[in-house]
């Protein structure tokens, strides 16, 4: 069994501040990147106990160079995708050769009452596909689904775990913390979280046979609301986007990977608008 792990950071046990997730921070980030790495390792350990033989781990947070290689298991059966920008960002390397997907350290979508909630970029106020409000988990799950691959595990705070399980009832969710607003949490200890993740991963492997690839119905209509008008000004430059309003745009395609690609390009070009004109 070939397991793909898209590992984010904000949903790691104990994390409650951007300081802990910001690679330029020299005090808190080094501690929490280790906790992130150990949660990934725990998920791998549980999966291995339940029959996983190969892993692709895609570092999916910020610079995407967070994982401590020394803390990952040794072996030829593991590939680590590291660095940014990657064309497929949080789903780089997720193809039909994968049997199941894990999302670890995931967080709530932009606008959720959840710790460090956002969707890919701070310039995104909200994003919907076919009218359904999307988290990163949902957007990425649909990419996996387009390859015929199901998601079977999500770890993170209660908001994202419960929302994802509603959309994909076959998914095993491991809630490592409850949000107390945007910048505080009521959390398991890292050690307890790792135990829960290991058990969750074991259980998730048993769901693969009954799990379903997640997808929206084609044609796909991507609608984006941006934080500012300037973000939308820049996104409108991308061929295929239609301006719906000062801070609203639409992109349609019958091919879901193109939709995700358009969304990722939108987040990247919007960031160029953040400097003063």
Partner 1 sequence: MEGVAGVCAPEQVDARKPHPEYAIFRRYYTQEVTSAIEGARAAGAAQMLVNDSHGPMRNLLLDELPSDVRVIFGNRKPFSMVQDADGGFDGAFFIGYHGAAGDLDAVLCHTYTPSVIYDAHINGVRCSEATINAGLLGYYGVPLLLVTGDRTTVHGVQEQMPWVHGVIVKDSIGNSAAASMVPQAAQREIRRAAQAAVRAASGARLFRFDPPITLDVGLVTAGQADLVATIPGFERIGSRNVRFVHDSYPVAFKAFVATWRLGSMAR
> Which residues in 87-126 contact partner 1 (CB under 8 A)?
87
**Position of tokens 């209660």?**
158
Q: In the sheet where 220-226 sits, what is the strand order?
A: 132-133, 124-129, 220-226, 248-253, 242-245
- Binding flags for partner 1, 33-72, as an x/- string (CB under 8 A): ----------------------------------------
Minimum distance from residue 88 beta carbon to partner 1 (Å): 9
Minimum distance from residue 259 beta carbon to partner 1 (Å): 9
75 vs 219 by CB, closer to partner 1: 219
218 vs 240 by CB, closer to partner 1: 240
Minimum distance from residue 68 beta carbon to partner 1 (Å): 22
Which DSSP helix (H) or strand (E) runs through 233? helix 229-235
23 torsion bin: left (phi>0), alpha (psi -120 to 50), beta (else): alpha
Which DSSP helix (H) or strand (E) runs through 186? strand 185-187
Contacts of 72 (CB under 8 A, 6+ apart): 37, 40, 41, 44, 57, 78, 80
CA distances from 242 to 121, 127, 236, 263, 271 (A): 20, 14, 7, 13, 19
Any idea what the Cα angle at residue 171 is, between residues 189 and 40, rounded to 5°?
Answer: 40
Contact pick of 102, 220, 234, 256 for partner 1 (by CB under 8 A): 234
Q: Which listed range, 7-15, 177-185, 191-199, 253-261, lies at the site for partner 1 (CB under 8 A)? A: 253-261
Q: Which listed range, 5-13, 100-108, 203-211, 228-236, lies at the site for partner 1 (CB under 8 A)? A: 228-236
102 vs 120 by CB, closer to partner 1: 120
Number of residues that bind partner 1 (CB under 8 A): 23
171 vs 232 by CB, closer to partner 1: 232
Is residue 233 a contact residue for partner 1 (CB under 8 A)? yes
Pairing state of beta strands 100-106 and 151-157?
Answer: parallel
């Amino acid at each position: 069994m070939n397991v793909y792990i898209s590992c984010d950071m904000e949903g790691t046990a104990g994390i409650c501040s951007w300081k802990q997730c910001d690679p330029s921070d020299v005090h808190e980030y080094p501690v929490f990147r280790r906790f992130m790495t150990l949660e990934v390792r725990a998920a791998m350990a549980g999966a291995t106990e339940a029959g996983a033989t190969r892993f692709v781990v895609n570092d999916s947070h910020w610079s995407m160079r967070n994982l401590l290689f020394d803390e990952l298991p040794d072996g030829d059966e593991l590939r680590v995708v590291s660095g940014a920008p990657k064309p497929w960002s949080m789903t780089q390397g997720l193809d039909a050769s994968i049997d199941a997907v894990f999302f670890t350290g995931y967080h709530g979508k932009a606008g959720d009452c959840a710790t460090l909630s956002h969707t890919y970029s701070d310039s995104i106020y909200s994003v919907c596909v076919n009218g359904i409000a999307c988290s990163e988990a949902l957007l990425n799950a649909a990419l996996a689904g387009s390859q015929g691959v199901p998601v079977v595990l999500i770890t993170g705070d209660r908001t994202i775990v419960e929302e994802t399980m509603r959309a994909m009832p076959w998914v095993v969710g491991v809630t490592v913390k409850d949000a107390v607003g945007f910048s505080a949490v009521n959390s398991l200890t890292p050690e307890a979280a790792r135990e829960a993740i290991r058990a969750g991963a074991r259980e998730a492997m048993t769901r693969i046979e009954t799990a379903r690839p997640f997808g929206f119905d084609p044609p796909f209509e991507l609608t984006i609301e941006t934080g500012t008008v300037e973000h939308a000004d820049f996104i409108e430059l991308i061929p295929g986007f239609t301006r719906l309003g000062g801070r609203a745009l639409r992109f349609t395609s019958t091919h879901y990977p193109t939709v995700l690609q358009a969304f990722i390009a939108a987040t990247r070009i919007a960031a160029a608008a953040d400097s003063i004109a």
